[in-house]
Amino acid sequence: MQETALLSTIPLFNGLSEQQYTSLSRIARELQFERGQTIFSEGDAGKGFFVVANGQVKIYKLSIEGKEQILHVFGPGEPFAEVAVFTGSDYPAHALALKKSKVLFFPRKAFMDLIGANPSLAMNMLASMSLRLKKFANMIEALSLKEVPGRLAAHLLYLRERQNHTDTLQLNLPKGQLASLLGTIPETLSRILAKMTQQGLLLVDGNTITLLDSDGLEDLACGERRL
């Protein structure tokens, strides 16, 4: 597979020895998915977990009426569906490739064995899942305690953080998907972006957003201000 190079770029596998990379690459399987293709569905038997090699994958839930709530959007180097490894049960959500993606698959059993033998791998896994939990806690807080403008503002500031504090953001998602990530619908998101623009908080051009008043957004994100 000549994949140890790829594996070494994955944060989850940081600090492993050359030999451990070899063990990993031995159990990994490489999968290709087209844009829009389902990787697994909620309720499927959780046979293992995945790491995005390249492309983009969303993890989401669906309501009976078809409304979608995105839980995560993962890019290169990020693992997903680890939960299935340790609970040994079904996948608790759906996964779908948002772009043409290469994905590494690690079968449950083999990976568990590796973890048992490699404490540092276990520690990495724990750290990764801790961050995930923290993110979920913030998402619950946002959904329950903030209104949509606040959630949007928080998300934009989060993106600015990740893009080196530049005020010109590139959305890595179509707006409709962003709405689903924020727990709302495209119509509402559109209206709120319009209102924010009108108030001079930001500037929208396609999927480029320029933040004009991050302090104002900050206030919104903390619930100290309304639109």
Output the DSSP codes for 98-141.
Answer: SSSEEEEEEEHHHHHHHHHH-HHHHHHHHHHHHHHHHHHHHHHH
The site partner of 29 among DNA, a copy of itself, none (C-beta below 5 to 8 Å per kind) is: none
Q: Which residues contact 81 (CB under 8 A, 6 or more apart)?
A: 40, 46, 48, 49, 50, 59, 91, 95
Q: Which of helix, strand or coil describes residue 190?
A: helix
Is position 226 an interface residue for a copy of itself (rule: CB under 8 A)?
no
Interaction with a copy of itself in 129-188: which residues (CB under 8 A)?
Answer: 129-134, 136-141, 143-146, 183
Binder of DNA out of 75, 186, 216, 223 (CB under 7 A): 186
Q: What is the Cα–Cα distance from 124 to 114, expressed in whole angstroms?
A: 13
Contact window for a copy of itself (CB under 8 A) among 8-16, 31-39, 127-135, 156-164: 127-135
Counting residues that bind DNA (by CB under 7 A) gives 24
Q: What is the Cα–Cα distance from 221 to 161, expressed in whole angstroms?
A: 14
Dihedral sign (CA 85, 83, 96, 208): negative
CB atoms within 10 A of CB 125: 20
Compare residues 16 and 96 and give the one whose CB is closer to DNA: 96
Binder of a copy of itself out of 18, 161, 205, 224 (CB under 8 A): 224
Is position 148 an interface residue for DNA (rule: CB under 7 A)?
yes
Q: Could you tell me whether strands 101-107 and 168-170 are parallel, antiparallel, or unpaired per DSSP bridges? A: unpaired
Binder of a copy of itself out of 125, 153, 178, 220 (CB under 8 A): 125
Per the CB < 8 A criterion, the answer to whether 136 and 173 are in contact is no
Per the CB < 8 A criterion, the answer to whether 157 and 221 are in contact is yes
The site partner of 147 among DNA, a copy of itself, none (C-beta below 5 to 8 Å per kind) is: DNA
Is position 202 an interface residue for DNA (rule: CB under 7 A)?
no
Binder of DNA out of 30, 34, 187, 215 (CB under 7 A): 187
The site partner of 185 among DNA, a copy of itself, none (C-beta below 5 to 8 Å per kind) is: DNA
| Interface ranges with a copy of itself (CB under 8 A) | 61-65, 67, 69, 71, 82-83, 85-87, 92-93, 112, 115-117, 119, 122-123, 125-127, 129-134, 136-141, 143-146, 183, 222-224
